[in-house]
Structures are given as structure tokens and as C-alpha cells.
């Protein structure tokens, strides 16, 4: 029915990176939690995507974590209402790779992340330049696919292209634009995708950005652990 609705969305967390005996860990970043109030009209169709937690491979000795997917609520023409960014995956712990960044309360992804709805990149930590040789993947955004990854990784798709996570034999990104992890963790999906900044011996996966066009906003970075959520409540 026509009325006022509170929409709360939470991005998914990135997967932890761990050794096969689970003796060492690098934590995946938690997803953002974004809430706003909207006037919706009877008959309006919404497109809803709930982010999936990043995946970590269990058959590798030193497996990093894939990025978490963002959670999206948009109109049928892909106009966004509210989006919560997913967290970056934790890096391979036996090297000097770091915990993943959280999903962000602001629009841009972190660590060479996307802006304005684009996907994240992967950048050299020493030069800040995009490094196509870095074994890492950036998360997808609302409009732009994620970037990066050696073959046979398949890049994550933007929300408007279906929002699939990136696939890779080691660790996969979550549905909602999460990026794969090979040695470094994968970037999180969101309004703008999280990127990755690193070298062959150190680095961090970024969290995805968020978006909120509602009123009475409540925007928090790094709150949700696990799969994402979308909760829509009618406000009498």
C-alpha cells in the first residue's frame, strides 16, 4: 500500500583468511548497516539483492577470504534507493597480509576502491598505480563490474548486470559483487566496489561503499557479520 516505509540493509562480511589447520587468521571486514525512511506507492516494483558472505577455500594451506557482497534495494529501472557495502576479505595469514576493511558508511570503496557506482581496482602499494600483475580482485559496484584477477578468475558483475560474485579456484566473492581471493583478500561489493592495495608480500582488501537516498538516515560502517540483510517495515 502507499505509505512510509523504513528500509534497513546490511552488507555481507568478507571471509576470514586462515591456514589449513586454522592456527592463524586474518579477519574479513564486517558489512555496513544502512537505514532510511522512504515514501513508496502502491504498485511500485522494487529490485532487491541480499549480499552473500565471502567464501574461503578449505583445500589450500594458506587461503585468503573472498569479499562480501553488497545489499541493494532499487527501483525497477535500477535507480538506487539504499545500498550497504560488503566487507573486504582477510588476506593469507602466513604472509604479511592484513584483515579486510569494513563495508563503508560513505559512497566510495576503500583501498583503490570505486567511486560513483564503479568497481574497485587493484593497486601497487608502493606506486599507487593499477597493477595488472597483482593477484587480487576489486569488488563490483552499482554500475561497474569489479576489476582484476588472473585467469581463470571471472570478475564480479555490477548490480545492473546481475550482481554475481567473482569465482576463482582458491576463494570466491559473495553474491552482490564480492571479489575473489588468491593471495590477497578480495574487495567487497557495494554502491562502489572495494579495491585492493598491496604487493607480493603485504596488502589489504577494501570494503564496498554504501548509498542512502532516504530521510532519517542511520549509516554505520563495519557492523554486520555473516550474510547481508534487507528489512522493509511499514511505518503506520
pLDDT tens-digit readout, 31-63 = 999 999 999 999 999 999 999 999 987 766 778
In this predicted structure, what is the pLDDT of residue 130? 85
Give the residue from 142, 87, 156, 83 showing the smallest Cα distance to 114. Answer: 142
* pLDDT tens sequence across 148-188: 766 566 889 999 999 999 888 888 999 999 999 888 899 99
Rounded to 5 degrees, φ, ψ at 98 are: -110, 175
Position 19 confidence tier, pLDDT thresholds 50, 70, 90: confident
Average pLDDT, whole number, for the chain?
92
Query: What does the angle CA 69 – CA 70 – CA 71 come to, to the nearest 5 degrees?
Result: 125
In this predicted structure, what is the pLDDT of residue 92? 83
In this predicted structure, what is the pLDDT of residue 25? 82
Taken as a whole, the chain contains a residue count of: 236
pTM (predicted TM-score): 0.95
* pLDDT tens sequence across 55-111: 987 766 778 999 999 999 999 999 999 999 999 999 888 776 899 999 999 999 999
Q: How far apart are CA 101 and CA 105, in angstroms?
A: 12
In this predicted structure, what is the pLDDT of residue 195? 96
Give the residue from 123, 104, 102, 101 showing the smallest Cα distance to 112. Answer: 123
Q: Give the burial string for 161-190 (b: 16+ CB within 10 Å, else e).
A: eebbbbbbebbbbbbbbbbbbbbbbbbbbb
Q: How far apart are CA 233 and CA 122, in angstroms?
A: 38
Task: Domain ranges for the chain, please list them.
Answer: 1-236
Residue with cell 577494501: 206
In this predicted structure, what is the pLDDT of residue 152? 66
Amino acid at each position: 500500500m502507499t505509505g512510509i516505509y523504513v528500509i534497513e540493509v546490511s552488507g555481507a562480511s568478507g571471509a576470514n583468511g586462515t591456514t589449513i589447520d586454522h592456527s592463524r587468521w586474518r579477519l574479513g571486514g564486517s558489512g555496513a548497516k544502512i537505514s532510511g525512511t522512504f515514501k513508496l506507492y502502491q504498485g511500485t516494483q522494487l529490485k532487491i539483492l541480499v549480499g552473500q558472505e565471502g567464501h574461503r577455500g578449505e583445500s589450500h594451506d594458506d587461503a585468503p577470504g573472498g569479499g562480501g557482497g553488497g545489499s541493494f534495494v532499487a527501483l525497477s529501472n535500477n535507480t538506487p534507493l539504499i545500498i550497504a557495502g560488503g566487507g573486504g576479505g582477510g588476506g593469507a595469514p602466513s604472509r604479511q597480509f592484513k584483515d579486510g576493511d569494513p563495508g563503508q558508511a560513505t559512497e566510495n570503496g576503500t583501498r583503490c576502491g570505486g567511486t560513483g557506482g564503479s568497481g574497485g581496482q587493484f593497486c601497487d602499494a608502493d606506486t599507487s598505480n593499477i597493477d595488472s600483475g597483482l593477484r587480487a580482485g576489486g569488488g563490483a559496484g552499482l554500475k561497474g563490474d569489479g576489476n582484476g584477477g588472473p585467469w581463470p578468475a571471472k570478475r564480479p558483475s555490477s548490480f545492473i548486470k546481475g550482481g554475481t560474485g567473482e569465482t576463482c579456484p582458491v576463494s570466491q566473492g559473495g553474491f552482490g559483487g564480492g571479489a575473489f581471493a588468491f593471495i590477497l583478500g578480495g574487495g567487497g561489493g557495494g554502491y562502489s566496489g572495494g579495491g585492493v592495495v598491496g604487493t607480493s608480500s603485504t596488502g589489504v582488501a577494501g570494503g564496498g561503499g554504501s548509498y542512502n537516498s532516504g530521510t532519517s538516515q542511520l549509516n554505520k560502517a563495519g557492523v554486520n557479520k555473516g550474510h547481508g540483510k534487507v528489512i522493509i517495515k511499514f511505518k503506520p
